[in-house]
Structure 1
Amino acid sequence: MVSALAGLPAEEAPPGQEVLHGLHAKVYVVEKGHQARVLLGSANATDAAFSGNVELLVELGGSRNRWGINALLGPDAGFREILERHERQDVTEPEPDTGLLRDLIRDIAAIPMSATVTTSAGGYEIRLDSQEAVPEVTGVRITAQLHTRRGEAVPLVAGQPVSAVFAGLALADITPFVLVVAEDRTGREQTIVLATLIGDPAHRLDHVLAQQIDSPEKFLRFLLLMLGLGTEAAAAVSGDAGGQGIWRTGGTGILELLLNALVDRPEQLDDLARLVARIEADGDSRRLLPPGFTELWRVIDQARDARAEAVGR
C-alpha cells in the first residue's frame, strides 16, 4: 500500500514505511457540500505558516465521496493504513496571561513622579513622590528602584501616592530614571519611568562623565566625538598605548579641532573645560590627559578668556 501511494513499483520499493522515512508533510481535508479539497504540503496549522513563511502546498479537488474525510480517514480508507497514532508528550503549559500586569505597568508609567535630591550623612538621598495614587490591584507586588542601583527595590503601596526613599547614594547614583516592577504568581512586567529631578547637584553630569574616562585614549575619543564628529579626525585615534596615536596622524589634528571650536563653537570648549577641570581637581591629569595636552590646553584656555573679554566689551 505504501509503495502504491508513493507511486513506486512494488518490486523497486524498499519494504514497509522506509519509503516515507522523514516525511514531514501535512494534509488538510476540507469539505463543503458534496465537494472536498485536499491540501498537501509543508505548512503547519499556524498563523506564521499561512501569513508569513515560505511554504509549498498542492491542492486537489473532487467529490466528497472520493476526497472527503471519510474517504481518507475512514475505517476502510487506504490512506489510513500508513498513519500512526500520535500521543502528545511533555505538553507545554499555556503561557500565563500577563495582560493585567502590562496594563498596570502602563498606568503607573503615566503617573507624573518627582525625584527630590537632598544631602545626608551618608551622601545623597532621593525621595520619589507623586500626587496620583498607584492603581490598586489585588495580589500584585509593585516595587521601584533607581536605574543606577539595581537590586535595591522599595515597595510601592497600591491605592496610595508613590512614596519611596533611596538613601546612601553617591553622586553618580543620582538619576531621574526609575525602574518600576509589577509581579504576581502569573508573571512579571517592568518599565523605566522618567521622573522630574529636583535639586540636581551642580556638575553631577561632569562628575559622571569623568568617571567613565579612565585612560588618555578614552579622553581623546571623547574629545574627537565632541569636537570632530563627522570629520576625518573622528577616525584618528589608534590603539597605541598611552593614547598618543592622535598626535602622529595626518589630516585634522587636535590643535586644528580646538582652534575651529574656539572660533565657530566656543560652547563646546566650555563642556571640555569642565571635564579638564574635574580631572585636574581629582589629581588625575598626569594619568588621564595625553602627554603635551596640558600645555596645549593652557594656551587654548587663555585664548578663550581673551575672546570672552573681547565679546563682553
Structure 2
Amino acid sequence: MLDANSRESLSEQLRPPHGYRLRQAVGTTFTLDMVSALAIPLSFIKGSGEDPENSVAVINAVRKVSDRIDIFSQAGLTRVPRQANDLLTVLEPMLHQVVSPQRGALFHPKIWLVEYESGEHLTYRFLCSSRNLTPDASWDLLVRVDGRISDPEEDSQDFSIDNGPLARFIEALPGMATRDLDPDRITRISGLTQRLTQAIWELPPDIGTLAFRPLGTGENIPESSLARLLGDGESAVGLNGQSDGRRSFGAKKLLISPFVDDTTVVALRDKWTQQLDVFGRGEELDTLSPETLSDPKIVFHSFNELGVADEEEMDAMMEAEDLRGLHAKAVFTDFDRTTHVLLGSANATQAAFRRNVEFCVEMTGPKTTIGVDQVRKDLESLHFLLHEGPGGMEHTEESALEFRLQNALIEAASHVFTLDASSSIGRDDYELRIEHSYAPSPGFAAKIGLLTLPNQLHRIEADNRPERHFFSRLPLASVTPFALIELTDVDSGMKRSTIVQGVLRTDIDGRIDRIIASQLDTPEKLRAFLLLFLTPEDVSPQNSTDGSLGFFGAALADNGMGFSGLFEVVATAAASPGAAKLFADVEPVLAQLYAMSDGDPDLDEIRILWDAALAAVEGP
C-alpha cells in the first residue's frame, strides 16, 4: 500500500497516455515554486524531458500548451526564486493566486485534474496528494485514478463515484482568485467540469470504493465519512450506522500527519478503539497535551529530519538521496473486514477540517491488503521512532514568528497591485509603475520590488495611501506583473518574501512574444524551437530516440538537423490538418525575432523557408 521506495515525479504522473495529447489541466497547490512550475508544460510534450533550464524546450512547451493549463496557489506563498529567470515571464497566463473564501483560512489543496484527447476520444486523470508544486524532498502520498467518458451503450455497470463534488470544486476555483481570469479560461474550465460529470473512473488496485472530499467550499460531507468525524465529530455517524456512544469507526486506526492537534487525535480515539498509531513530526507531537500523549491506547511515532536514528544511518541515506521530511497526510481505520482510508492535503488539525480549503479522497478496500497492520509494516522502512515526550510544550518563538510572517505575507498578497508599463521617451528601455493601497501591519516593515529585479526594493510607507513606486530604464524582460514583497519583523529582524501577482493594466505590445524571441538568439536555437513546435505533442522530435534533448545547440546542425532537416519538418507541418493554427501560433514570435535581427545569413535562410511555408498554408 505504502512503498517508500516506489517514487515517481509529478511529470511522470502527468504524462499523457500513448496516442493522446493534453486537452486541459487544472492544478492546485499551497506553496508554489515558479521554477518547478516551468516543468509542468514539459510534462505534456513527448520527448521534452523535465529540465526547466532547457530554455528552448520550455519555450516550446509553454507556447504550445500554456493556454490549456491553469495552476491555482495560495496568495502570499509563492517562493522568490534564488535567481531571476527571464523564462518565468512566460508562465504569467497560467498562474492564478487565490485566497480562501473564509477569512483567516488557507487554500491548501494539492490536486490535478487532467483531460487528454485523441481525436474525439477523451480520457481523464485525477491526482490527489499531499505534494506542493515545489522541489522539496519530503515524503508525500498520492492517489491516482484514470477515467474516460461513459458510453451508455457499453457501460451497463452502476459506477458509484460521484463526480459532482470534484466538478463543483474545480468550477469554484476562478472565483477565489485575487485577480480576474481571462474569460476564455473561465469558459474552458466550465466546459471541463461539464464534461467531467460524464466521466467514469478505474479504481486503483485493492480499492473497492472512492469518493471525492473537498473541504472548506460548503460541500456536504456524509455523516459516516472520516472527514465528517474529524471536522464535525458531534454530527458524525459511525461506520456501524450508530450515533453517540454506540458509534464505532473501527478498532485499529492509523494516522499520518506532520501537524496534529488534540481535538483531531482524540476524535479518532473512540471507546471502541483498541490501538491508534500516530505518525508525525516530533516537535509537533510535543505540543499535544500530556493527557493525549499518555493515553494507553495511542502509540506515537516521530519522524526526525531524515527519519533515522543515528548519524551513520543519516549519512548513508543522504548519499542515497532519501526522504528528508514528513509531508504525507492520511487516516486508515479497520472496520470489520474493510479498511477505510482518507488521504489528501488535510493535516490532522481543526484548521484543516473546519476552516481551510482542502481536498481529500476517501476510499475503502480489503483489510488484508490495505489494513492498518499492513500500513504499519510498510512504514517500518522509513525509520520512525517511538515518541515518548511529555507533551504540553509551546511552539518555539522562532516558529511562532514564522507563522506570523506567513500570515502577514498572505494578507499583503490579498491586496490589488496595479502595474503600468510604458516605453521610455527617446530610449530603448521601459518604465514600470506599481500602485497599491497596502500598508504593513504594526511590527512589520515592508519593501516592494519586481520578480525580475529582486535586489531593487522600495520601502512601503505605513501612512501614504495610495502609494506608487517607479522603476525606470528596464530591459523588456524585466517588465512583469509579478511584484516582490519583503516583510521584516522589526523586533527580531527576521525577513521573509513572496511573489505577488499584480494586474498589468498597461502592457508593452508583443511583450511576451519579444521575450521569447530574445531567447532564440542563435540559428541553432531557432531550428531546435521550430523542430519542437512543429512536431506533434504526442510524437518524439527527430534525433531524440531516448526522449532527451541533447541534440540542441550546435550539435543540431551537425547531426542532420540543419537547413535540409528543418525543410522536411516545416513541409510536413504545412501539409498537416491543423497547419493554419500551428503556424499562426508561432508567427508572432518569428516576426519579433526577425525585427530584432541584424542580417544573420543563417537566420535569413530560415526566414525564406518559413515565409514560403506560411504562404502555402495561408493560400492565395
Aligned to 1:298: 611
Kindly indicate whether the alpha-carbon contact (under 8 Å) linking 1:215 and 1:287 is maintained by their aligned counterparts in 2: no
SS at match of 1:150: strand
Task: Give the partner amino acid of 1:197.
Answer: L
Residue 108 and residue 300 in structure 1: after superposition, are their counterparts in 2 closer, same or farther (change >3 A)?
A: same
Kindly indicate whether the alpha-carbon contact (under 8 Å) linking 2:525 and 2:553 is maintained by their aligned counterparts in 1: no
Aligned to 1:243: 556
Shift of 1:209: 0.9
Larger radius of gyration: 1
Is 1:177 matched up with 2:482? yes
SS at match of 1:152: strand
Kindly indicate whether the alpha-carbon contact (under 8 Å) linking 2:525 and 2:552 is maintained by their aligned counterparts in 1: no
- Cα distance in 1 for residues equivalent to 2:595 and 2:563: 29
Residue 161 and residue 103 in structure 1: after superposition, are their counterparts in 2 closer, same or farther (change >3 A)?
A: farther
Q: May I ask how many residue pairs the two structures share in their alignment?
A: 225
SS at match of 1:299: helix
Aligned to 1:147: 451
Pick aligned residue for 2:528 from 199, 205, 221: 221
Q: What do residues 217-248 of structure 1 show as CA deviations (whole Å, max 9, x unaligned)?
A: 22123223322233132654725737323259
Pick aligned residue for 1:264 from 559, 574, 578: 578
Kindly indicate whether the alpha-carbon contact (under 8 Å) linking 1:117 and 1:200 is maintained by their aligned counterparts in 2: yes
- Cα distance in 2 for residues equivalent to 1:171 and 1:210: 12
Task: Give the partner amino acid of 1:136.
Answer: S
SS at match of 1:117: strand
Residue 255 and residue 222 in structure 1: after superposition, are their counterparts in 2 closer, same or farther (change >3 A)?
A: closer
Aligned to 1:277: 591
Q: Percent identity?
A: 23
Q: What do residues 262-307 of structure 1 show as CA deviations (whole Å, max 9, x unaligned)?
A: x314223123222222232223463663x8533321321221332x
Aligned to 1:14: none
Residue 284 and residue 268 in structure 1: after superposition, are their counterparts in 2 closer, same or farther (change >3 A)?
A: farther
SS at match of 1:233: coil
Kindly indicate whether the alpha-carbon contact (under 8 Å) linking 1:215 and 1:242 is maintained by their aligned counterparts in 2: no
Aligned to 2:468: 163
- Cα distance in 2 for residues equivalent to 1:56 and 1:120: 62
Aligned to 1:20: none
* Alignment TM-score, normalising by the size of structure 1: 0.61
Aligned to 1:189: 496
- Cα distance in 1 for residues equivalent to 2:406 and 2:553: 49
Q: CA RMSD in A?
A: 3.4
Aligned to 1:205: 512
Aligned to 2:431: 125
* Alignment TM-score, normalising by the size of structure 2: 0.32
Residue 288 and residue 214 in structure 1: after superposition, are their counterparts in 2 closer, same or farther (change >3 A)?
A: farther
Task: Give the partner amino acid of 1:279.
Answer: L
Aligned to 1:137: 442
Is 1:231 matched up with 2:231? no
Shift of 1:143: 0.7
Residue 288 and residue 242 in structure 1: after superposition, are their counterparts in 2 closer, same or farther (change >3 A)?
A: farther
Structure 2: runs of 5+ lacking an equivalent: 1-280, 287-299, 308-382, 387-395
Give the helix-richer structure, 1 or 2.
1
SS at match of 2:473: strand
* Runs of 4 or more consecutive aligned structure 1 residues displaced over 6 Å after TM superposition: none
Q: What do residues 43-65 of structure 1 show as CA deviations (whole Å, max 9, x unaligned)?
A: x97659923342577xxxxxxxx
- Cα distance in 2 for residues equivalent to 1:282 and 1:258: 26
Task: Give the partner amino acid of 1:203.
Answer: G
- Cα distance in 1 for residues equivalent to 2:423 and 2:511: 13
- Cα distance in 2 for residues equivalent to 1:154 and 1:100: 22
- Cα distance in 1 for residues equivalent to 2:497 and 2:468: 18
Kindly indicate whether the alpha-carbon contact (under 8 Å) linking 1:233 and 1:253 is maintained by their aligned counterparts in 2: no
Kindly indicate whether the alpha-carbon contact (under 8 Å) linking 2:485 and 2:497 is maintained by their aligned counterparts in 1: yes
